[in-house]
Amino acid sequence: MIRKTRLFTPGPTPLLPAAQFAMAAADIHHRTAEFRALYTCVLVQLKKFVGTEAGDIIILSSSGTGAMEASVSNLTSPGDRVLVLTAGKFGERWSSLCKAFGCHVDVVSAPYGQTFSIDEIKANLHLETRAVFMQSSETSTGVRHCVPAVAKLLKDTASEALLVVDAITGLGTTHIDMDGQGIDVLIGGSQKAVMIPPGLSYLAVGPRAWDRMEAAYNPRYYFDLRKERKNARNGESAYTPAVALIAALGAALDWIAAQAATAENPAGDIVEGRKKLIENAETIAAMTRAAMLAMGCTLFAPDAPSAAATSVLPPAGVSSTLFVKELKSRFAAIITDGQGEMKGQIFRIAHLGFFDYMDTIALIGALEQVMVKSVPESGCKFGDGLIAAQGFYAQRSATAAAENKCQCGRSTCCLA
Ligand SMILES: *Cc1c(COP(=O)(O)O)cnc(C)c1O
């Protein structure tokens, strides 16, 4: 049998063909008018994609963690008291980063698979708290954290703490209103919803954060955001940028805009296109959740599922690694195991970026093959998962068209 390799991983995600072509053609020097035109255009589009008017976009040549580090090194000083909200591996990364830069770190944590209690955050917010760091979507557990609720808490308590959000898998899977909600820094990465290879991270930085940088004195050099902003205003980056990835990003943002093309406006619109991207992720995430339950699996994050990735607990006594291995060897489908101590416990299926209905149905079909052959005690039969996913899809198409509402299915939906 022929097998096509397909990524179902929450970063890197499948590459958009238009972005791959743009990369191959990006043979330009970074101190030329051609590059300045490209870079300026990408910054404008990215700003709309992130959804801020007040903030400035900074692109860094690094994986997502580089932008996380830049937000800590540029906004804090040694001894600053900061609050980290953590419920998984990426939340723990915030703690490590803040400690590495000499901050006094308070932590509010939630068990893996769950989200935070706002009351507990309130109790741990002090007058001296200089910044709050959190994820929008915790990719290691598949949980969506409620950024608007944390932002509201900071506003209601007139806190001077900056809100820094790792939205690396939140962007393109959830509606975030940076200016309206009062988020100071929003972070994204290239290998996630924007469908290009790893190697770029980006930050939207709001006015309060720029002010804070004037006084903050932790060391930084390559990731000096103020230097990058100065250069970006002239259409350049401070050092040699990843030119090919920037060309790819430009093509991907054009493609996202074109998802909202109309007869009058064939190029589409990036803000409307972003909504389609989010709706797509929400839909296939919900199809996947319905299928997994119907096949005898359990959801690891049932109360606050992220539309970026679904974390699945296999039937009792079965290792998640079996699913990862069988899907790869039999179908060349790459899903991810749990990270760290969650390895063997959960498997994760991504929905952010360039995935569609066909990918989703195919993966559910392949998972049924694995269940029926390798986990017969589950009682799963061919069609169990597919019927549930098909049913959700058919019913959703009708209601979404009628109401144009969020499909995340959470009782505590941020948009409800
Ligand atoms: C992918 C990811 C990151 C960044 O990881 P890198 O390997 O540095 O790109 C950070 N936070 C979350 C939530 C992620 O999913």
Would you state the pLDDT for residue 415?
A: 60
Q: What is the mean pLDDT of residues 37-43?
A: 98
pLDDT band at 412 (very low <50, low <70, confident <90, very high): low
pLDDT for 133: 98
Q: What is the mean pLDDT of residues 353-378?
A: 98
Q: Which residues pair with 311 in a beta bridge?
A: 348
> Whose C-alpha lies nearest to ligand 1, atom 4?
64
Give me the pLDDT at residue 131, please. Answer: 98
Instruction: Name, in order, each residue with C-beta under 8 angstroms of 198's C-beta and a sequence gap of 6 or more.
Output: 11, 12, 63, 189, 190, 191
Which residue has its alpha carbon closest to ligand 1 atom 6? 64
- Is 6-10+271-403 a CATH 1.10.3720.10 domain? no
Architecture of the domain defined by 17-255: 3-Layer(aba) Sandwich (3.40)
Longest dimension (CA), the chain: 64
pTM, full prediction: 0.96
Percent of the chain's residues with pLDDT above 70: 96
Nearest to 114 by CA among 255, 304, 252: 304
Using CA positions, which residue lies closest to atom 3 of ligand 1? 64
Closest atom of ligand 1 to 169 CA is 15
User: What stretch(es) of the chain map to CATH 3.90.1150.10?
Assistant: 6-10+271-403
Pocket of ligand 1 (CB under 6 A): 10-11, 63-65, 90, 135, 139, 166, 168-169, 189
CA distance 11 to 197: 9
Give tens-digit pLDDT for 281-306: 999 999 999 999 999 999 999 999 99
**pLDDT (mean) for 119-143:** 98
Phi and psi torsions of 95, nearest 5°: -60, -50
Q: Where in the chain is the domain with CATH 3.40.640.10?
A: 17-255
| pLDDT band, residue 398 (cuts 50/70/90) | confident
pLDDT, averaged across the chain: 96
Sign of the dihedral through C-alpha 251, 254, 259, 262? negative
